[in-house]
Amino acid sequence: MVRKFSAPLERTARLLDLVPYISSHQGISLKELSKVFKVEQTQMTSDLTTLWMCGLPGYTPLELMDLDFESGFVTIHNAETLSKPRSITFDEGVALVLGLDLLRSALSPERSDLLDRIDLLSQRLAGLIKLPSALSATSVVNQEVSAAITDALKSRMGLEITYHSLYRDELSTRIILPIEIVETDGQLYLSSYCYTASDFREFRIDRIQGASVQAGLQEIPKNSAQQLSYTCTIKVLTPTRAIAERFKQSELQVNTAFDFKTYSFQWIERSIMASGRTVCLQSPPDVRKSVAVMAQTMLDRYKAR
């Protein structure tokens, strides 16, 4: 974990960082400054009061920093010694290098001007923190899609999306109102109200193949249908990591069953097929039956070959 500092150290770091920030934002309001540093306004006033007492040895008005904040707006003078931002820590450098790499994957290859600058910045940062180029971050989501999603979320507008459903294995066009981006098991989902389904749905962002912003959508119906969920009972025949991850189980034991909730029969059918001999679906009976029929149909085809 990233280390947390004790209260006096946390405060010292803040005091040191306040000086360059105020120096480059002369006249910033006390309120704004508190927001930027994520502290209460009373704490900020107390910080500034402390800082006002600091300066070069001698501590006469000539050596103290000249800090004014009584008017509610903050200015600082005579603070040259601390006026440059502090050098970055190892963790901060790591955060920047990874962030830059992610940014690189989001830029169009035509912008070689920006890509070259990113490479140079990464090299300089890696030099500062003495870490060889060993970090990489990529994202494979379509840039136009992610731009449309960001726009729609910002302006509370709807989206028309072309979505590839993995378990139906087909493309569909839907009108949705995106609510938020959520992350589950390393995948990003767009939690939305879907007008096409008249219900709330989550869409995996990397499966959205096209998106365009739609204006003038109706409000979400208040009494929209409750999402129906089905409970399946799955017996473990051979514990594998694939089953544990697919059904989000932390522990698996041979010949024991667990319950799993799903919103889609198709998903569970395909998941059981993909798990092959390692699991057995005990209920619901109609999905059990369709798994058996599907497997038999496929088997007949392989045998006929």
Partner 1 sequence: MHTVSRKSERLVNLTIALLATKRYLTKTEIYNSVEGYEGTPETKERMFERDKDDLRSLGIEIEVGSFDPLFNDEAGYKIKQEKYQFELGDISSIEVSLLSLAAQAWQEASFGDVAQRVLLKLRSIGIPSDELSIPATVHKLNDGGQDLSLITKAIAQSQLLAFAYLDSSLKINMRSVVPIALSTRNGLWYLSGVDQEIQEIRTFRVDRISSAITASEGPSDFETPTGFDPSKALSDSPTHDFALIDVRVGKASSLRALAISTQSLGEWDQIKIPILSLDSLCSIVLWHGPDAFVQEPAELRDLVVEHLVALVENHG
> Footprint of partner 1 on residues 131-190 (CB under 8 A)?
131-132, 134-141, 143, 146-147, 150, 164, 166, 169-170, 181, 183, 186-188
Among 66, 173, 248, 295, binds partner 1 (CB under 8 A): 295
Of 85 and 221, CB closest to partner 1: 85
Beta-bridged to residue 172, according to DSSP, are 163
Among 39, 54, 157, 175, binds partner 1 (CB under 8 A): 54
Give me the least distance between CB of 70 and partner 1, in Å please: 19
**CA-based nearest residue to 88, from 18, 13, 35:** 13
* Rounded-to-integer distance, Cα 102 and Cα 138, Å: 5
* Rounded-to-integer distance, Cα 72 and Cα 129, Å: 38
Q: Is 56 in the site for partner 1 (CB under 8 A)?
A: yes
Q: Is 39 in the site for partner 1 (CB under 8 A)?
A: no
Of 20 and 210, CB closest to partner 1: 20
Residues within window 250-289 making contact with partner 1, judged by CB under 8 A: 252, 270-277, 280-281, 288-289
Contacts of range 71-79, beta carbons closer than 8 Å, 24 or more positions apart? 72/29, 72/30, 72/31, 73/27, 73/28, 73/29, 73/30, 74/22, 74/26, 74/27, 74/28, 74/29, 74/30, 74/33, 74/48, 75/22, 75/26, 75/27, 76/19, 76/22, 76/23, 76/26, 79/19, 79/23
Give me the least distance between CB of 225 and partner 1, in Å please: 28
Of 1 and 228, CB closest to partner 1: 1
Among 30, 39, 96, 197, binds partner 1 (CB under 8 A): 96
Q: Is 225 in the site for partner 1 (CB under 8 A)?
A: no
Of 74 and 97, CB closest to partner 1: 97
Q: Is 71 in the site for partner 1 (CB under 8 A)?
A: no
Q: Distance of alpha carbon 150 from its chain centroid, rounded? A: 13
Number of residues that bind partner 1 (CB under 8 A): 119
Structure tokens given for 100: 């830059």
